[in-house]
Structures are given as structure tokens and as C-alpha cells.
Amino acid sequence: MRWAVAGYGDVVERRVLPALWALGQEPVRVWGRDGRRAARVAARHEVPYGTDDEQSLTRGVDAVYVATPVVRHVPLVRRVLAEGLPVLVEKPLAGGLLTEAVPETDGGPCAGVAYYRRLAPAVRRLRRELAGGAPDHVEVRFRCAFDPGPAHPMRWRTDPALSGGGVLADAASHRIDLLHLLFGRADEVRARLGRRFPAGAERSADVELRWASGLRARVLAEWSDAPPVDVFEVSGGGRVCTLARLDSGHLRCGATVRGAREEAEWLLPPALNPHQPLVADFLEAVADGRPPVCPLSQGRLVDEVLVAAERSSAADGAPVRLPPADRGATPGPNPDDALDGTGDGTPPLTPRRPPTTPAATAGPARPTGA
């Protein structure tokens, strides 16, 4: 497929373009507001065109990847879908920005949100371990350093009018999406957001999600210089399952059975470039006529939590009910359908054209947990 990429930031250079090339795709255009920067990024990755001409974004391509600042996500997704093209968009879809939902229609173009951790082998193993259980509490803790100065290229992430929020939208959104994947849509949110940047994005968030079943999840997320943390722990019925570092792939589950403690561990590391299985799933979804692993309606659920969290925080942590479930929402495919006997379920992806440019081999994208 021929791809246009909207955006030219870190995630495009380190993940999106290398993933497209590795999967035998053909990126033909990089678009952004700064035409010269778009041209430089395109040249570094052997993409024919880099431009600031938005009219060209959907011209002569088969699909579009949107990786702009969040404020442009929904307008560009609408534009691409109106042209009848598949679109994959970075997370969050809209964040805390109040935008109308993008309608999904049966038989319409494939459209997904880049919540790639749904495909992580350890997450899929965790989902299998939780099947049939009745957890009552989830603890999610995330912390990393992120304090860009006024001239830093990522400074826009501190302005919620551009980014859709702070640490909650940027990093915790992935963890909230996993809560939806594992337990379904929450019913109520309580939150306190604080330590804001001058433009308004929060550096810290303490959010509680509640389900009608009685399940509660606490999400603690912050940008600070304290030691990094990234824990996802599910407990209930005498059993505890822990991903001590979410992206390590190290899953540990323990339970007390007839007075004896039983432990099981798995080491299921994610792909070196987590966008590669994400794009691979999207390509299969387009070919098979099925939803991608995270369709737009599932991505929208995270946005609803972000909006509710801001409202709750403004009301001193008061509970905010989430909107009624959309009966027309498109469920994502079960990521466990491809699980084999080993429990990781991730097929090997052999690069057809390994990226060789310095930008393409520089390792994982920014260390903000996004």
C-alpha cells in the first residue's frame, strides 16, 4: 500500500516510517505545516515527497497515518475517511478536546487508533489469565521525567489546547485503554489533576475508575524527576497478577491455593518497534474487512475518561458519570484469537526492507510512556 504520513515528529521518525518500510509498505509522502522540515524528514527516510500542501495528503495514496499534534487528529481523520481511505491515527484520538465523535459505518474505510499495547504479548497473556476471574482492584502507577523548556520541540505537549491534556492524555491514555480492553467500559470517574505547566497541562494525575460490577481501578501518573515507575497490577479473589514494568513483558501471577502459595511467571517482551505489529494488524484488518485492534469507537472511550477526569478535578474530585454506551460502537477484534500454545501469540515479522538511516535505527521513541 502507498502511504502518506501526516506529521514529522519523533514517533514518525523512530517508529512509524521504520514500521512501514519493514512491512513492505511504500511511504510516498510526509506532510506537515513546516514544508522544509517535512522535506528533511522525508529525505532521511527515503520517502519521495515532503510537503506542507495539505491538499496533497490524500492524493495518490492508499492509506494515511496521522501523527500530528492531537488538535489536528479528528479533522484529518474526517478528511481522510471522506476520501474513502483507511486511516490509522496516533493516540489519544482527541484527548480532552471536546470534539464530535467520528462516525463509523459498516463497510466504510478501516480506521483505528494507535493503542499498540493491546497487541503486547504480556498483555494478551494477562487477558488470558484473567478470563473467568473476578478481580476487584487494579493499581496502575506511571512516572517518568518530562519537563521540556520553552524552545523544546515537544513543548506543545504541555498545552492542552494542542495536546488534549498532560500526562493523563500522553502516557496514562495507554493504560486506561488497557483497562477498557481487560474489563470493558467504566461507569464513573473521580480525579485530581495538578502541578500544571504554564499552558495548563497537568504533570500529575490521580484518577479512579469505577465499574458497576464493583471493580475499581486507580491510575496514578506523573511527570517528575523521581525514579521511573510503570506498574500494572490486578488483584481479586486471592490472586494477584503484576506487570512490574509494563513494557518489560515480565508478567507474574500468584495465588494462595489450599494454604499454599502458587506463582507463575512469563517473560514475553514486546516488539522492538511496537508500531510494527500495530501496522501489521491494520494491514490485515484492511485486507480482511474487519475492525483493527483498536477501532475509533474504542479509542473514543479513553477520550471520555480524559474529559470526565478534567471535570471531576475541577469539582474537587467529585464523581462524574461517563456517557451512556454507544450501541453502535465497533468492538475491536479479540487480540487473543491468534494466541498459540506459548501464550505470546505474536507472529514473527521479517523486515522486507530494514531501515538503515540514522533516524530509523535510533531506538525507541521518546521516554514519556506514550
pLDDT, tens digit, 9 for 90 and up, residues 192-207: 999 999 999 999 999 9
Query: What's the confidence (pLDDT) of residue 326?
Result: 66
- Domains, the chain, ranges and CATH? 2-117+273-296+315-361 (3.40.50.720), 118-267 (3.30.360.10)
Task: Report the C-alpha gap between 73 and 89 in whole angstroms.
Answer: 7
24: left (phi over 0), alpha (psi -120 to 50) or beta: left
Nearby residues of 96 by Cβ (< 8 Å), 6 or more positions away: 160, 164, 165, 168, 169, 303, 306, 307, 309, 310
Would you state the torsion angle of the CA atoms of residues 40, 44, 45, 49, taken in this order, to the nearest 10 degrees?
Answer: 30
Nearby residues of 345 by Cβ (< 8 Å), 6 or more positions away: 121, 124, 335, 336, 338, 339
- The alpha carbon dihedral of 92, 95, 100, 101 has a sign of positive
Peptide bond into 75 cis (omega under 30): no
Whether 200 and 160 have beta carbons less than 8 Å apart is answered as yes
* Angle (deg, nearest 10), helices 296-314 and 173-183: 120
Radius of gyration of the chain (CA): 20
Measured CA distances, 219 to 121, 172, 194, 241, 325 (Å): 22, 8, 14, 16, 22
pLDDT lower than 70: segments of the chain: 105, 326-369
Residue 329 C-alpha cell reads as 460502537
Query: What's the confidence (pLDDT) of residue 150?
Result: 93
Query: What's the confidence (pLDDT) of residue 118?
Result: 98
Would you say the pTM of this structure is higher than 0.85? yes
Task: Report the C-alpha gap between 35 and 44 in whole angstroms.
Answer: 14
Strand, helix or coil for residue 50: strand
Query: What's the confidence (pLDDT) of residue 350?
Result: 33
Query: What's the confidence (pLDDT) of residue 369?
Result: 67
Query: What's the confidence (pLDDT) of residue 330?
Result: 58
